[in-house]
Structure formats: structure tokens, C-alpha cells
Chains A and B, each alone.
Chain A
């Protein structure tokens, strides 16, 4: 009697489990047997529109190539992008629309730290994955990492660390000869954290560092320029955490002062180069920018595939750091989707992504995630501009 009862119970439980499984896969928002829908909130208008555009191009060509090869496990990947104009207030509305109206499965490739900061609590509340944002901000890199946030790229703090290390170890500048120029918000604060951390390794008290800045959404660099001028006698370099317009303005106004300028990837190498070249040949030359992906015209395996996909699906686009970053992030995402299998939902994708160790695309670095590690790559590449604004590789170590 007891055995029969137990056997029946087991059968019943198995049936419930089965129902649960199929029920779940039928209910997951943005997922069907034929398709997965991703959402992207980014600027497609205003000064940051090029970033949104490049990010979208990178994900789209990656998805297009994968879809032509049959999709992931038979599912085609689709991207719904909406314009938040890089305005925090608008971004929340946009993301709510993506989640509640467009019914996307997850967010990918979001752009703009301040905008992301505005809707992050909403995403946490919805327990929705945000994968591969174009942001190196600290608040997306908590320790331990937030369950729903996965980054492909290194953080801004790692970039400023690498810049300080380069200036001290390779250029042999003293820590006291390096100034810091920042946007006065969380972007600048993240950069400063890495800068200060590296300086501490040289036992240097950053209270003595010349730290200057400007207000977000302004081009007002006069005060910062004046202070740098005042200390120009003993300064050799400036680590900059700024947008490309401001960085160009800052460098322009410091003409005649012999300084090495080091920027982080968020200035977008090409845009900064274009602005500097317009000012004259002397401005661009020697300006350093750290990157979180290899040079877009590299001949590395993954980059060749990217160039091919770009050529085929977006023939009007030039290879670019940002679209390459998006393309590579999409490869990691698709690896996760594959590993999550047919029963795709948020938790199965989180688990699958956390199971990716040493994923090799051929970019010179293996991508790894884990429960305690939600940033795939920590690699920083150096680039230096020549007089005509071409990005050349720079050895940082």
C-alpha cells in the first residue's frame, strides 16, 4: 500500500515538474521556440548618438550572422532599440516601454552611465538581465556582482590604473608629475578610484595630486586649464576621464604645454581623433587612449569575422571600437544562450553565463564568468594617435 502510494506520488511529482517546465518556457517573456527578443536603450539623437548607433550596429551584425546560420538552438535573435537621448529621465520611460510593452527578454548593449543608473533599480525589481553595456562604471561592477548584470568589458577604474602604470613604469614619470582631469560625476569618480588605487601602489598620497575637473554637460574647462598651467613646470602627464568634446577642448587650450594625455575608452578613439586632427597636426600626435577591445582593423580571428559580418550586413559602416565591442559581447551572450539550452529563462541564462570559463574568441584574452565574476574581460589595450589621427597600437606594460 505504502509503496503504491509512493510510486503514485512520484509519478504525480514528475508530472508536475514536466508541466512546470513546459509551462515556464511558454511563459518566459520575449522567448518563443523561434525567437528571442532583446531590448536596447541608448542615445540615437544628441551628442552621444554615435555611441548608440555603433553599439546597435555591432549587436545587429552579430545577430544577423548567427540568424543566417540558423540562430541559437533554432531561435532567431532580434533587437529592439529605442532612443533615450542619453537623458536619465527619459531612459526610465524607454526601458519601461521595452519591458512592459515590447516584452523583451533581456537588455543588451545599453549606453550611458547616468541613464543606466536611473533605471537600474527598476531592472533589479523586474529581475531582468542587462548584458554587455557600453559602460565601465563602478556601479555595474559591485563586489559581489549583481546577479542580473553581466559586463563584457573592463571597467574605467581598470583603464585609469593601466594608464598610471604605463606613465610610471614605461614612461618613468614620477607619480607627482601626473595630474587628473575628470567629469565631476560617477564617471569621473570611477576613474579616480582606479587612478588612486594605482598611485597607492607607488606609495603616493593622492591628496597631493593635482585633481581638476568640469561639470557634466558643459564644455567649461577654463578653471581646470588654468590650474594645469599654473603647475605646468613640474607636470608631465594628465590622466583624463572626460567625453571627447571636452577632452579635445582641454587639449586645445593647453597648446604649448608639453604633456602626455591619457584617455579612457569612453572618449571613443575615432571621434576624439577627428576633433584633434581638425585643430591641426600637432594636437593629435601622441594622445593616448586605452581600449577594451583590440584595434578594429586587427587581423585577429574574431576581428576578421567581425569585419566580414560588418561588410556583409552593414556595408556602409567603418570598423569601429564600439561596434567591435558590441559584436564581441554578442558572441559571449550567444554562447550563454546556447548553454542555457531549450529551457531558456532568466535564471537558466544567468547560470549558463556563470558557467562560461575560458571562452576563446581569438582576441588575445579568454572570457570567463562565474557566480563571483560578472565581467568577462579585464584586458586593456593601448592606442596612440599619429599626427593624422590614426590609432596605432601602444604597448602598455
Chain B
């Protein structure tokens, strides 16, 4: 699980070196004391993608190497969005060390200019004489400290790398025993090891939604860790590898291809996002790979009858919208003409609106009386919606929102600023604690007027499944606070593991589908029985209502 640390204690070069030597796949996030942050990705020990603030590729690496302080966080098994570093780490480190040294001494840059991002990949072999360079630079009078450290690191790294390779070769593992510390940039991806079942995930691990990817992954890994502690599933250890799509639907397809074609994952689990699913799902269906427990309530993942390879844990957006609408109509006793809808102008918002309409019709009400407003995806432009709500004035009493949390927070702040006294609802994909925090920080008075529907119990619950989840979190994910997302990941992962256990000694996708469809009625202690069948590929239909308190916490309320 994630590793946290201080760059003052472990330098960036040492940190990267560690994972280079281990041939590991990790995402390293660094943060400078000034607040700049960067993301660096190693794929099987090869540094392939770098970004720091607005810098990319080699410039980003250079900036990170110069950090004397700051924090880092390492997330294992996260694959990069795309390659933008085409040089071997060892060469880079060496060149940068020399360059830094030159700079410190006031000289010009002796090394060739940094390669542009889109420069053709240079298959940089490990130089046969890097060691020679070391005494050269140490001999120089008064080299910069950084250069010394970097070069020292190189020494250690080479030695460690050699030992590591030796060790690996001796233990007879299947990894390519690299002849030197640095694997070639063209190293073939390491497929799942024998005795291992590899699962894949596409989600955001950089950008503003990175906590969503992290939370989901952390939760899934708890379920896998629990299974592995018990010897794995039928002797196989479960491992999850994630690809960062940066929350961009356009990158999700490539990320998915990486998982299916390069990594050859057995199943895809916990993918994040509805728009992303549009490009990832067809690939899974085409290759007949299981698409399990995505973080999306989209109807495209919930066909009737259900797609054979698609299984969901969570209720649909429409179900959440219906529950919120029922709450406003029956618990709050508002009439349709007293309600508004505020939604993102895409599939997510459409699904919310459809759920609202269904519920209205079910209760014999007219949805056309509801004021419908929109905003553009990936924008904070809510002026039109705010104006419409303002024009409707005091007659409005409730708003069903299908918006991301920064947008929802601003919408609440702005409409309250107009003097409106409304009850707002938000769905479970809104990060409810982030939303509450944003409101409390903006000093927007709240209390009893924001209902967030949830598809998992409160992460602070004392229910059996939630206690187990928190115990596992404490044991395996140090520093990760309990949250709805990782709880959902844990529950979805638990169902998948249960399916795998029942799929037979040599699980293939067809057997797994059959096993999952046989999970009729499982009580994990979350308040609802969970299960699948040939005609039901959604485990849970249960929705909890939580109402915000003035301090930004939430309490459970009846939705019926």
C-alpha cells in the first residue's frame, strides 16, 4: 500500500533508485514545500513518465532531483498514462548530476539539452563505463552537494542493483535478471507471475480526482490482502495493477488496452467513471474480460438483460435519484413545482434526471413541473443554473443535484447567497466529506439541508463488515483514513474474491461468471443481502440517507 515520506530524509534519486532496483511498478508523487507537486511513474523499474507542475519528461525529473525538502507518497502497482521519458534512468541521473555540478561551478551545460517530450525514444543502453564517471566527478574540487549525493547514490545503486540481480537469479525467479542496475527502456512488460492472479483497474491517480482512484484501489487491495493472507485463492495470490487515466476519458481506452493486451489481466475491477467506461467497456466486452464493480451508476453498465461480463456492486444513478426524489416528495412533502434539478450535461446528469422522472411518475406526479438546470462537464460555469433558480425565487424548496463536489459546493453557496432556503440532495459519487469541508470552509451555513445518498454504510459504523474493513485498513494501509470509496472497493473486492473461490481450481472467465451468478444471497453484515444471478448483475440496491450537521458531519436519516 501507499508509502509516505520526507524528501529531506530520502532524496528523490534514492527513492526512484529503490524502485528501479526492484523492477517495480509504482507511482511516486512528490510535493515541494512551495506546494508544487509532481507525478513520476516507474513501470517494471523503468521511469517512463514524469510531470512536475507544468514541466514534463526530463525537465520534470530535473526539477524533482533538485528538491531538498518536501513530501512524497508512493502508490504501488499504478501504471503511467503514457510514456514521456525515453531515456534510461541511470543515464539521466548521471547526466543530471554532472550538469548540476557544472551549474554549481558556474559553467555552461555540458550535457546535450534535455530531450523534448515527444522526442523519439532513444534506446539507451546502460553505459558500460558509468563507474568511471564517478571518480571523475568526485575528484572535481568543490562539487555541489547535490551532485555528490546523486553520484553517491549511483554507487550504492549499482552495488545494490548487482546484489539484487544476483539474488533474484539465485532464487530462480522468473524476472529477467538484468545484467546491470537499469533495465532497458524496451524491457518487455512482466506478465503475471506463476501462482499469481493479476487484476487490473483504470482510474484517476493524478489530477484533481486522484483521491477517488486511490480510495477505490486501497479498498480493493484490502479484500485481496485478506484473501492472500489466507493463502490466496486456490493457491494463487491476487494482485491488482492500476493504470492512471488522469481522469480523462480519452486516455481511458489506451489505459484499458495496456491492461488487457500488455498486462494480460485476468479481470478488470473497480474502474472509475462513467464517461471513461464508454471507452473501456467495449474493449472488455470484445475480449470477454470480466468488468467488475466499477465506480459508476451508469445505465450503460446495467443493461436488461445484463451483459454477461459486466457485474456491479453499487446501485444505479437512477436508483439514487429516485431515492432522493422520494425523500423530497414524501418525507419533506414538497410538490413537483417546488423542486429543481441541477445536473452535469452528460450521461451522469441524464441518468439522474431519468431517475427523478421515474420516481415522480411512480408517485403519480408530473416531472415536467420540475425546473431543470445544467452545467458543462469539467467546468465550474453554473451561472445559468443559479440565475434560473434565482428567478424561480421563494417557491422553490428542494434541488436534486447530480454534480461533482466542487460544482455542488459552489452551487449551494451561490444559491444560498441569493437568499434561497432549499433542501439539496447529492448522490454517492460526490465525495460527501469533501463537499462538507468545502461548505464549512466557505462559511456556508449548513445543517439538515443537505441530503447525500450513500451506497455503503457510514465508514465509522460498528457493523461487522465495516469493523473488519477498518481493522484491515489499519493493518495494510497505514495513513489511509476510512472513507466511503475504499469501503465500496473493499466490499466489491470481497464479492469478487468470493466468486473466485467458487470458480474452481483453474479459474477462467466463463467459470467465474457462472460462479458469480451463483452468489445468490450473501450477508456480509452491511444491512442488505448481496448477490448476483443470471438476470441480476448488480449486487446491491440498498441506499442510505445521510443528512449534514452544522459541523459538516453526517447522520443517518430515513429515506422512506
Contact = CB atoms under 8 A, between A and B. Distances in A.
Interface of A: 124, 142-149, 193, 197, 200, 203, 205, 207, 350, 354, 370-372
Interface string B451-474: 000000100011111110000000
A147 B330 contact: no
Nearest to A350: B464
Given A197-B558, A200-B560, A145 B527 contact: yes
Contact of A371 (B461, B524, B556, B558): B524
B527 A372 contact: yes
A371 B464 CA distance: 7
A143 B333 contact: no
A370 B529 CA distance: 10
Given A372-B523, A372-B528, A142 B333 contact: no
Given A147-B467, A200-B330, 17 more contacts: A142-B461, A142-B462, A142-B556, A143-B527, A143-B556, A144-B527, A144-B528, A146-B461, A147-B525, A148-B462, A149-B462, A197-B560, A200-B560, A350-B464, A354-B464, A354-B525, A372-B528
A144 B333 contact: no
Contacts of B527: 143-145, 372
B206 to A, nearest CB: 34
Interface of B: 330-331, 333, 457, 461-467, 523-529, 544, 556, 558, 560
A202 to B, nearest CB: 11
A371 B560 contact: no
Given A193-B558, A372-B527, A146 B331 contact: no
A59 to B, nearest CB: 24
A147 B331 CA distance: 29
A200 B333 CA distance: 9
21 contacts: A142-B461, A142-B556, A143-B457, A143-B527, A143-B544, A143-B556, A144-B461, A144-B463, A144-B525, A144-B528, A145-B525, A146-B462, A147-B462, A147-B467, A147-B525, A197-B558, A200-B330, A207-B333, A354-B525, A372-B523, A372-B526
A394 B278 CA distance: 60
Nearest to B458: A142
B462 to A, nearest CB: 4
Nearest to B466: A144
A144 B560 contact: no
Given A200-B560, A207-B333, A372-B529, A147 B523 contact: no
Given A371-B523, A372-B523, A144 B558 contact: no
B526 A144 contact: yes
Nearest to A149: B462
Contacts of A350: 464
A189 to B, nearest CB: 12
Contacts of B330: 200, 203
A197 B526 CA distance: 22
A38 to B, nearest CB: 20
A149 B467 CA distance: 13
